[in-house]
Structure formats: C-alpha cells, structure tokens
Structure 1
Amino acid sequence: MTTPLNDAALAQLFTDAHTHTSWQEKSIPEEVLHQLYDLVKVGSTSANCCPARFVFIASDEGREKLKPCLSSGNVEQTMSAPCTIIVAYDEEFYEELPTLFPYADARSWFTSSPDAAYETAMRNSSLQGAYLISAARALGLDTGAMSGFNPELLNQTFFENSTWKVNFLLNIGYGDGEKVHKRLPRLSFEQACQIV
C-alpha cells in the first residue's frame, strides 16, 4: 500500500495549482522535457495503447509556425510561453500494440473498427494529456491547457502526410504568480457526483 501525499504535494498538484497565461522569461532545460515524458509514459491507458504523441515547441521558429493556428485570445500567452506542447494522438496507434500489449491480438480490435480506434485514441490521449499536466506540476512547472486553435490548420502545418492528429495544446513553463486569475467556482460533490 502506498502512503498518501502530504498537503504540500497535494497543493502543488491540485489545490494551489492554477491555469497560467503569463510566464517568466525562463527556459525549460531539454532534460526536464525528457523527464516529463518519462513520467507520462508510465501512466495507464486501456490495453496499454499509449496513443498520445507530443510535439514540444520551444523555439521561436516553432512558435511562429504555430501562431497562425491559434485563436486570437491565445496568441500572446502562447508566444511568451517557454514551451507549448501539441498533445496529439496517432490514428494508427494500434500498430504498436503487438509490442505494447502482447497478451492478445489487440491490433485487430481497432483495424476492424475505425470508430473504436478514434474513440480509443481520443479518450486515452486525453488521459495522457492529464498525466502530462500532473507530471509538469510535479516537476515544478506551471501549465495552461488550451483548445482555442484551428485543428485543421494545425494538422496541416505540423502533421501533413502523418497519422498524428492534434487533441489539445498545453503551455508549460514558470508562471507569473502575480498575474494568475482568482480560481473560478467548481461544482459541489452533490452536483457532480453520485454514489450507487
């Protein structure tokens, strides 16, 4: 049995964590990006399918390539972020299943059903994106997830002639704590949960 995290760790991951839109001018070392993925990759996915793919945009050239894909309200925060991650999924993630899930012919579950493949890719890459946010916070980074972008243009710009498709974007870095918005209301347990 594992020991529950202490209050300070829970605060860093959840209760004191905020979505950041303003960033300190401080770069993220490449080894931290590797460490981040090493944490994310051990998170559970259905049949260990691991459909998420990540593009770390950390250069001015990469940001300029991404800029036309962004909604106007997301341009400034993204251009100033030390790193923006395109959280994508591989439409043909199932091609890796003979290695990732050797206990059954899991590849055939998806080659025969494009709808099941899409749902599995979206659901599990979203799950891996949530692991990414938690892992970034655990490593002392701040995060700002976004869905305000043109997915068709982004896919064309970054993934033309590829089986990768964008799910959402995530800015990461060292946030400016002076410019964080007050936490908005959340639904109560009674509003959002049932115990049956």
Structure 2
Amino acid sequence: MTLLLDTATQDLLFREARTANTFTEEPVTDEQVQEIYDLVKYAPTAFNQQPLRVVLVRSAEGRERLVRHMADGNKPKTSTAPLVAILAADNEFHEELPTVLPSFPQAKDVIFGERPVREQSAALNAALQVGYFIIGVRAAGLAAGPMTGFDAEGLNKEFFADGEHSVLAVVNIGKPGENAWYPRNPRLEYDQVVTTV
C-alpha cells in the first residue's frame, strides 16, 4: 500500500462515499460549511484563480426559487435536503486577483483577456473546485448529492442577475436518510483508462 491515507479515510472520501438521494432532517450548520470551505480552498487552479462562488439556500423562499428550476426528478430531494448549495463560476473572477502576478507574467494575457477566454478558464477551474467541495462535504461526515439536472439559464437569472456567473452544479448536503443510495454503477478498470507512452 503506497497511499498515505488509512483505509477508513479512503473509504470515507472515496470507496464508500455515494451520491445521496435522501437525507435526514439533521441540520447542516454554518460552522460545518465554514470548515468545509477552509479545508478545500487550496484546490489547485490555474494561476491560483478562485472562480467558484457558493450560494447556500436555507430559506423557504430561496428553496422555492431554486426548486422551480430543477429537473422533475431532482425536485423532491432538493426540496427536502437540509442544505442546498448552488455552485457557480464567477466569470469576472479576475477582479479578485492582484493586478500583477509576478510569478506568472503570462497570466495577464490569459486571465485578464477577453470575456470568452475568462469564461472558459472560470468554468474549468471552478469545476476543479466543485470536485474538492464534494470531497470536503464527505470529509465533514456528510453526504453530497451533486446535480446538473436543472435549467441553467433560469438559475443564472434567478440567483445571478448580474450576468457575471454561470451555475455549474447544485449540491444537496446532509446526513444520508433512509434508502439514500441507488445501486452503484460499475467503474472502468485501470487498464481501460490509463495508457503509457
């Protein structure tokens, strides 16, 4: 075994972790979310940009605004999850970065360039951050139910009327409830994925 994580931690974060479809009523606290964020904020991104933005949906009014844009199959679980996070890419993320990045002189052309270039960079790097966010939720002993089944244009207008953000995923968060798991689908084996040149 060459992995540094013990077997129980490997199981918690990867092998036994599943996408939850039902949740208990146990609340997810702001302190838990803060700890998750503080753990995952060091996710690797190009030029250390941090385009991920998170909207926590806690209020009944916010939940109603969200659920109407979810695909029909996702509405019930989104309605009942203790906490729902909308994860979006900030396409104007460069405004949060220093004007000069001395370690990366090429950054100015890449990330301060035209809007389509920034949108592509924001989407890729925020997606990396989304993956880390899900692992962070698992590390907190919670289950994540990430979804992309929603009306993205509707969600963007509903929660990001400034036009500067693009929703990437909606994640239900909480303790798994009864019958939370669908049967696990198979995964590709190592030799189906990895080649060496």
Query: Per the shorter chain, which TM-score range?
Result: over 0.9
| Residues 52-105 of structure 1, C-alpha deviations (whole Å, 9 max, x = no match) | 111111222211110111010100011111111111011111122217945345
Aligned CA distance change for structure 1 residues 99 and 137 (closer, same or farther; 3 Å): farther
Could you tell me how far apart the structure 1 residues matched to 2:123 and 2:141 are? 27
- Deviation of the 1:22 alpha carbon: 0.4
Equivalent residue, structure 1, for 2:84: 84
Unaligned 5+ runs, structure 2: none
- Deviation of the 1:30 alpha carbon: 1.0
Q: How many residues align?
A: 195
Contact kept, 8 Å, 2:47 with 2:104, in 1: the verdict is: no
Could you tell me how far apart the structure 2 residues matched to 1:84 and 1:60 are? 11
Q: Aligned to 1:69, what secondary structure does the other structure show?
A: coil
- Deviation of the 1:4 alpha carbon: 0.4
Could you tell me how far apart the structure 2 residues matched to 1:188 and 1:152 are? 36
- Deviation of the 1:147 alpha carbon: 0.5
Farther off after superposition, 38-47 or 130-139: 38-47
Match of 1:179, as an amino acid?
A
Unaligned 5+ runs, structure 1: none
Structure 1 vs Structure 2 CA RMSD: 1.9
Contact kept, 8 Å, 2:88 with 2:165, in 1: the verdict is: yes
Contact kept, 8 Å, 1:23 with 1:81, in 2: the verdict is: yes
Equivalent residue, structure 2, for 1:5: 5
Equivalent residue, structure 2, for 1:161: 162
- Deviation of the 1:110 alpha carbon: 2.7
| Residues 40-63 of structure 1, C-alpha deviations (whole Å, 9 max, x = no match) | 212111100111111111222211
Equivalent residue, structure 2, for 1:179: 180
Q: Aligned to 1:55, what secondary structure does the other structure show?
A: strand
Could you tell me how far apart the structure 2 residues matched to 1:126 and 1:173 are? 21
Aligned CA distance change for structure 1 residues 100 and 43 (closer, same or farther; 3 Å): farther
Equivalent residue, structure 1, for 2:43: 43
| Residues 84-142 of structure 1, C-alpha deviations (whole Å, 9 max, x = no match) | 11110111111222179453453442333333212211111000000000011001010
Please state which structure has a larger fraction of its residues in helix. 1
- TM-score normalized by structure 1? 0.92
